[in-house]
Amino acid sequence: MRYLLALAGNQNSGKTTLFNRLTGSNQHVGNFPGVTVEKKEGPIKNHKDAVLVDLPGIYSLSPYTSEEVVTRDFILQENPRVIINIVDATNIERNLYLTLQLMELQIPMVIALNMMDEVRASGNSINVARLSEHLGIPIVPISAAKNEGITELINVVISQAESPKALPRLDFCTGEVHKAIHSIAHIIEDQARSAGYPLRFAATKVVEGDEPTMESLRLTENQLDIIGHVTDEMEEKLGTDREAALADMRYSYIERICADCVKKHRETNEQVRSEKIDRVLTHRIFAIPIFFGIMLLIFWLTFDVIGGRLQGLLESGIDFVTGLLGGWLAEVGVSGWMTSLLINGVCAGVGSVLSFLPIIVLLFFFLSLLEDSGYMARVAFVMDKLLRKLGLSGRSFVPMLIGFGCSVPAIMSTRTLSSNRDRKMTIVLTPFMSCSAKLPIYGMITAAFFPRHGALVMISLYILGIVTAILSALLLKGTVFKGNPVPFVMELPAYRIPSAKSVLLHMWEKAKDFLKRAFTIIFLASIVIWFLQSFDWRFNLVSDSGTSILASLGSVIAPIFAPLGFSDWRASTALITGITAKETVVSTLTVLTGAAGEAQLSMALNTIFTPLSAISFLVFTILYMPCVAAFAATRREMESTRDAIFTALFQTGAAYVVALLVYQIGRLFI
Ligand code: GDP
Ligand code: MG
């Protein structure tokens, strides 16, 4: 019989690392709070019936963030047989806060006390047996990263699942809160049962005044009245409000048991080291210049020193293969249109995009270094003050940084933002951060028009994206998204040396994604585009693509872009196909111009654009609505088709306005 095990714990406590150990899978591990945004599941190694679910990292069971809601709903509705609560032993007090709440759910639990390697190395110790006795829960000390204690943990978990020996103890509270919880438990007993809530959990939530729980309990007027009296009395006697009263109770209990079980002479080596590093990297004055320095270094290495060179190599490789194929097709005597489809359609289209693989992989390499080392969390912290001026919080910075790689994971990572307003606003702005799929477009245009100022144009485009985001934020803050961002709360994880495995895995995943796109969407798009531009409406092969089906379709929308300086039907067609995936802009233009190789493409582009309209085209491409995948992510995260469409329209509108300004103002000078 299949049964579920839930893995729950604070953010950055090592959940994913443990999940990978327990299931033998390869999920992405990151030293950044909130990396795991979707729940993942897999069977425990050698115990195929036990399915482990990796839940998002949370600090409490109060539904402040959507992850807390996910976790709570999962545990209440799916009824896992055992909860594995992973506790970061280097931050044990804060981690146990969640433990106490999980205990109220009255589901058999096992604590995996993680990071014991760090505790040991710093000469601290934890009396595990004693702690287990206090909580009434089996505890297994482990180190997920070092693969210690995993077998032991599996054994304990499986034996709990097969015959639970103990349910967590409950009565750790005393005094007024204790009285309130107990009297309310009596009052709501029946409703808690019919709503399917563990009684103790329901009672605590009612004392806390937790809205969703109160609603689903369907309490009567009368009951609400009595509950009001009980909590009022509690608040009065304690002199604090209800939420604080419960938090106090939990923390004082945690303090008491930790005093008994935890010997902490000093902070762990990692914590000491992190403090030293932070004195520099989060320095009041130097922090921001250092960050920009690091980003510049990354871009320089990616686009120029390493990535640029690798790209050149790959390009010649692709040209060589195309040449070989062309020669062979001619030799065999394949018909003209088939040769054209393969060479001018497929090879040109896919090839023009494929050469960007090294740059994209490299960009993700650096982004994952930033994330895994723990630096990304600092950046969020440092940027908080600046972003607050724009109506956002430091938390929003991370999705934006990830957005330089790809908008899809960036938009998904907004799930870690606790307020709906902050989340939606971040989703609207993130796609302005130029994603890696747009790089081929910049590459193509700069090669054709500004071969000697490539770097300058690229950097200006990135900056333009950021400036547009800033201006949009200012605009939205005063209109659609009134209100204030939530205060910044994010724990700064200890700096850790990123594991080579994790980084390589991340790069490989991105490379795979990119290759998959090149050989599916872009491959298909290249063929379709070739077809539409090779035939007219009566399906005659045309010699001049200006009379093709595509030309007549493209000409319908082309006039819209005339004020931006490019009214050629090929440009507007490329923009439309670019919505499937941004790289398609390049493959489309390559196919449409029938260019073989970069030199020919550059010449052809010079007939479509002037240098100024080429810039206006670039401006439009970086800002207009992101690809369908990002649009789908937007819709999913905003949970509203209307809002997603608004977002796409807003982005496209902004693109139009900025490109129009660039072109019209530019014309005054040129
Ligand atoms: P999650 O956010 O809870 O899923 O945590 P992750 O599994 O992504 O891990 C967060 C960070 O802690 C990563 O940098 C891991 O390499 C590191 N880590 C996880 N477990 C251990 C451990 O037992 N010892 C040490 N020293 N580091 C660990
Ligand atoms: Mg994780």
Q: Which residues contact 286 (CB under 8 A, 6 or more apart)?
A: 280
- Cα separation of 622 and 47, whole Å? 49
- Residue 489 is predicted with a pLDDT of 67
What's CA 60's distance to the chain center, in Å? 21
- Residue 37 is predicted with a pLDDT of 52
Going through 45-132 in order, the beta strands assigned E by DSSP cover 47-54, 82-88, 109-114, 125-126
pLDDT in tens, 603-612: 999 999 999 9
- Cα separation of 166 and 132, whole Å? 11
Q: What would the two tokens of residue 387 be?
A: 């972003």
Cα 47 to averaged position of ligand 2 atoms, centre (Å): 22
3-state secondary structure of 406: coil
Nearest alpha carbon, ligand 1 atom 21: 145
Q: State the residue for tokens 């520099």.
A: 280
Question: Atom of ligand 1 at shortest distance to CA of 57?
Answer: 3
Q: Where does the pLDDT of residue 166 fall: very low under 50, low under 70, confident under 90, or very high at 90 and above?
A: low
Which residues surround ligand 1 with Cβ inside 6 Å?
11-17, 29-31, 35-36, 57, 114-115, 117-118, 143-146, 372, 496, 499
CA Rg, the chain, in Å? Answer: 29
Q: Best of 11, 16, 29 to mutate for ligand 1, by most ligand atoms within 8 A of CB?
A: 29
- Average pLDDT of every residue of the chain: 88
Cα 12 to averaged position of ligand 1 atoms, centre (Å): 6
Cα 16 to averaged position of ligand 1 atoms, centre (Å): 7
- Cα separation of 150 and 148, whole Å? 6
In this structure, are residues 25 and 18 in contact, taking their beta carbons and an 8 Å threshold? no
Cα 358 to averaged position of ligand 1 atoms, centre (Å): 28
- Cα separation of 353 and 346, whole Å? 11
In this structure, are residues 426 and 419 in contact, taking their beta carbons and an 8 Å threshold? no
Nearest alpha carbon, ligand 1 atom 13: 31
Instruction: Work out the average pLDDT over 415-425.
Output: 84
pLDDT in tens, 495-512: 988 888 888 988 888 888
Cα 14 to averaged position of ligand 1 atoms, centre (Å): 4
Instruction: Work out the average pLDDT over 303-311.
Output: 83
- Residue 467 is predicted with a pLDDT of 95
Q: Where does the pLDDT of residue 159 fall: very low under 50, low under 70, confident under 90, or very high at 90 and above?
A: very high
Cα 145 to averaged position of ligand 1 atoms, centre (Å): 6
Q: How far is CA 69 from CA 243, 256, 548, in A?
A: 18, 29, 54
Has residue 418 got a pLDDT over 90? no
Q: Where does the pLDDT of residue 560 fall: very low under 50, low under 70, confident under 90, or very high at 90 and above?
A: very high
Q: State the residue for tokens 């005393």.
A: 174
Q: Best of 12, 268, 413 to mutate for ligand 1, by most ligand atoms within 8 A of CB?
A: 12
- Cα separation of 365 and 434, whole Å? 17
Max distance between CA atoms of the chain, in angstroms, equals: 95
Q: Which of 82-91, 123-132, 504-513 has the lowest mean pLDDT?
A: 504-513
pLDDT in tens, 377-406: 888 888 888 899 999 988 888 889 889 888
The closest of 58, 102, 101 to 418, measured between CA atoms, is: 58
In this structure, are residues 44 and 23 in contact, taking their beta carbons and an 8 Å threshold? yes
Question: Atom of ligand 1 at shortest distance to CA of 13?
Answer: 3
Cα 11 to averaged position of ligand 2 atoms, centre (Å): 7
Question: Atom of ligand 1 at shortest distance to CA of 499?
Answer: 16
- Cα separation of 312 and 303, whole Å? 11
Q: Which residues contact 117 (CB under 8 A, 6 or more apart)?
A: 143, 145, 146, 148
pLDDT in tens, 533-551: 889 999 888 887 788 898 8
Ligand nearest to the CA of 31: 1
Q: What would the two tokens of residue 544 be?
A: 């001049």
* Paired residues of 111 in beta bridges: 85, 139
pLDDT in tens, 607-666: 999 999 999 999 999 999 998 889 988 998 898 999 999 999 999 999 999 999 999 999
- Cα separation of 36 and 32, whole Å? 9
- Cα separation of 466 and 431, whole Å? 10
